[in-house]
Chains A and B, each alone.
Chain A
Amino acid sequence: MCFTQNFWSFFIGGIANGFLYALIALGYTLVYGVLQLINFAHSEVFMSGGFAGYFVVNAVIGQSSPHGLASVGLIVLGTAAGAVGGAVVAYLLERVAYRPLRRRKAPRLAFLISAIGASYFLYNLAGKEFGRNGYSLPFLYPFQTGVTVFGTGIQTYWVVIAIAAMIMLVLLDRIVAATRLGRGIRAVAQDAETASLMGVNIDRVIAQTFILGGILGGAAGFLFGLSSGVVYSMGFTPALKAFTAAVLGGIGNIRGAVLGGLVLGVAENMGVICAPTEWRDVVAFGILVAVLIIRPTGILGERLGRSA
């Protein structure tokens, strides 16, 4: 009974969450593509984007209560601020936590430890600077759109996420498939040394890849904050789920990250239609464990450096 009643709202809500996971998952997958490294500090890139978007929107909005075009403008502004915040932090991570290790040809484990260290540093820095309590973003739009699909009232938030994510995903796809930057990223992913023989500056491409991932992850941080607020610890769970999504779709595989995000978003919601929602994370991480056991290369498999 509860299943048929709630199906569509959980399904559509799951897709919206899935778009967020996809945006974050792309950061993992892009970096993995060029470095074969999981950037475990990506959760803090997401968190930084959330705070950047929050502060900028809060500064601009003042005491007004926006609607219509002003709402759209503020969402775009916040997303852009989140993207910039995420990009800056991702770039700094690469310069401070990873590049020095590459220079010294450090073993893989050193990168992992550096990533975890950087992550804890940023997490605690944010906790200290911004306090341990969360901040809610001001209401930028009415909760419901007033549109009903399959008997489910469509939330404005779902539409905002879906549109913002789709625009960014299409842009990323075009960049990777059809620009010089994209060719450089794919070449480094497939054979870094040979790419350098073609004139590709590997360090520059790696930095650009972190920045691309940071843009998407930071924007996702702001979008997430629209409904859940921002807090120093906000990155942990969504980023771990996005990592699950990246593995689910096939780490290093761009389309796989998007597919994995959507599948995970829907699946974890399906798991809790008739159960308390506290089960959602249990379902999500159960999926991660199951994928790793049954098909470790993910749904689409690892396709390093594919154009799409």
Chain B
Amino acid sequence: MLLQLNNVEVRYGPIRALRDVSLAVDQGEIVALLGANGAGKSTTLRTISGLVRPVSGTVFFDGKPIQRVPSHDVVALGIGHVPEGRRIFPMMTVLENLEMGAYLHRGNFSENLTRVFSLFPVLAERRKQDGGTLSGGEQQMLAIARSLMSSPRLLLFDEPSMGLAPMFVKTIFQIIREIRDEGTTILLVEQNASQALHLADRAYVLENGSIVMADRADVLLQDPRVRAAYLGEGAA
């Protein structure tokens, strides 16, 4: 397993955001993490990235425990994070945002730049423009491109389709598949459960900080509970 969480518990003060969460992602997979608002999806990704520390449990990446590694060192291990809400640097140009992605000099800068510009030609056109002036969809592309600049082995996506027009959503999902096909493992948090399950190999469902279901994506797509709760098919 490339990534493995064992019995992870996270608290924000008195709030227990994750309880006994265990999940695993194998090399080359796309794994989806589904759940309602406040279920703990972002917290799971933030724990992996070192932005929050679990009170108990372990996170293994490539066989090494990383639950105590600070976030700026987690990137160096090969974990990229496309955060919720895109979080591009608004007062830096597109190119400077990409340079931030390559801050640690992992991988080859000019190769990575060529790659992200061919994935997102619009970013090449706007390279001198401030990130804050891009449209929402372009900002999402920039956030993904920025994360690719560190040549990650594992990429964490936090709701990449949030707030985007349907056309952009389709593009983003295609790109995620492409990134996987080029060899990057993916853990994808989505509220858009249908699209995510069509893309993913496997999925986990979080409720109130606990994993309540885990299976192959095509199996979950047929599961009546999933269909009722996450695919908008009314009460079961």
Q: Identify the A interface with B (CB < 8 A).
A: 180, 183-184, 186-187, 190-191, 193-202, 303-307
Contact B100 A195 (CB under 8 A): yes
A201 to B87, CA, bound (A): 17
With an 8 A cutoff between CB atoms, is B170 at the interface? no
User: A193, A200, A201, A304: which contacts B91 (Cβ < 8 A)?
Assistant: A304
The verdict on A186 contacting B91 (CB below 8 Å), with A198-B75, A199-B72, A199-B104 known, is yes
Contact A306 B72 (CB under 8 A): no
A187-B89, A199-B104 known; 13 other A-B pairs, CB under 8 Å?
Answer: A183-B100, A190-B91, A191-B87, A191-B89, A194-B87, A195-B100, A196-B71, A197-B51, A197-B75, A199-B76, A202-B72, A305-B89, A307-B96
Min C-beta distance of B229 to chain A, whole Å: 31
Chain B residues contacting A303 (CB-CB under 8 Å) are: 91
Contact B89 A200 (CB under 8 A): no
With an 8 A cutoff between CB atoms, is B92 at the interface? yes
Contact A197 B81 (CB under 8 A): yes
Q: How many positions in chain B have a CB within 8 Å of any CB in the partner chain? A: 23
> Which B121-169 residues sit within 8 Å CB-CB of chain A?
146, 150
Q: Identify the B interface with A (CB < 8 A).
A: 49, 51, 70-73, 75-76, 81, 83, 87, 89-92, 96, 99-101, 103-104, 146, 150
Interface of chain A: mostly helix, strand, loop or mixed? helix
Contact B100 A193 (CB under 8 A): no
Min C-beta distance of B80 to chain A, whole Å: 8
User: B70, B76, B89, B104: which contacts A194 (Cβ < 8 A)?
Assistant: B89
Contact A197 B49 (CB under 8 A): yes
Chain B residues contacting A187 (CB-CB under 8 Å) are: 89, 92, 100, 103
Contact B103 A199 (CB under 8 A): yes
Contact B72 A186 (CB under 8 A): no
The residue of chain A having its C-beta at the shortest distance from the C-beta of B82 within the complex is A197
Chain B residues contacting A198 (CB-CB under 8 Å) are: 72, 75, 100-101, 103-104, 146, 150
Chain B residues contacting A201 (CB-CB under 8 Å) are: 70, 72
A172 to B147, CA, bound (A): 29
Contact A200 B103 (CB under 8 A): yes
Contact A305 B91 (CB under 8 A): yes
Chain A residues contacting B92 (CB-CB under 8 Å) are: 183, 186-187, 190, 305, 307
Chain B residues contacting A200 (CB-CB under 8 Å) are: 72, 100, 103
A184 to B51, CA, bound (A): 18
A307 to B72, CA, bound (A): 22
- 7 A-B pairs in the complex with CB atoms less than 8 angstroms apart: A187-B89, A190-B90, A198-B100, A198-B146, A200-B100, A305-B92, A307-B92
Chain A residues contacting B100 (CB-CB under 8 Å) are: 183, 187, 195, 198, 200
Contact B150 A199 (CB under 8 A): yes
**A-B CB proximity, top 10 nearest:** A199-B104, A199-B75, A194-B87, A196-B71, A198-B103, A199-B103, A190-B89, A201-B72, A196-B72, A198-B100
User: A183, A191, A197, A202: which contacts B99 (Cβ < 8 A)?
Assistant: A183
Q: Which of A183, A186, A193, A198: most chain B Cβ within 10 A?
A: A198
Chain A residues contacting B75 (CB-CB under 8 Å) are: 197-199
Chain B residues contacting A190 (CB-CB under 8 Å) are: 89-92
Contact A194 B83 (CB under 8 A): yes
A184 to B71, CA, bound (A): 15
Min C-beta distance of B189 to chain A, whole Å: 15
Min C-beta distance of B127 to chain A, whole Å: 15
A191 to B89, CA, bound (A): 7
Min C-beta distance of A30 to chain B, whole Å: 15
Chain B residues contacting A197 (CB-CB under 8 Å) are: 49, 51, 71-72, 75, 81, 83
Min C-beta distance of A195 to chain B, whole Å: 7
Contact B91 A306 (CB under 8 A): yes
Chain A residues contacting B83 (CB-CB under 8 Å) are: 193-194, 197
Min C-beta distance of B106 to chain A, whole Å: 8
A187 to B8, CA, bound (A): 31
Q: Which of A184, A199, A303, A305: most chain B Cβ within 10 A?
A: A199
A305 to B89, CA, bound (A): 9
The residue of chain B having its C-beta at the shortest distance from the C-beta of A304 within the complex is B91
Contact A184 B103 (CB under 8 A): yes
A190 to B87, CA, bound (A): 10
The residue of chain A having its C-beta at the shortest distance from the C-beta of B99 within the complex is A183
Min C-beta distance of A45 to chain B, whole Å: 27
A195 to B96, CA, bound (A): 12
The residue of chain B having its C-beta at the shortest distance from the C-beta of A184 within the complex is B103
Chain A residues contacting B150 (CB-CB under 8 Å) are: 198-199
A144 to B52, CA, bound (A): 61
The residue of chain B having its C-beta at the shortest distance from the C-beta of A202 within the complex is B72
Contact A196 B51 (CB under 8 A): yes
The residue of chain B having its C-beta at the shortest distance from the C-beta of A195 within the complex is B100
Chain A residues contacting B81 (CB-CB under 8 Å) are: 197
Chain B residues contacting A183 (CB-CB under 8 Å) are: 92, 96, 99-100, 103
Chain B residues contacting A193 (CB-CB under 8 Å) are: 51, 71, 83, 87
Min C-beta distance of A260 to chain B, whole Å: 19
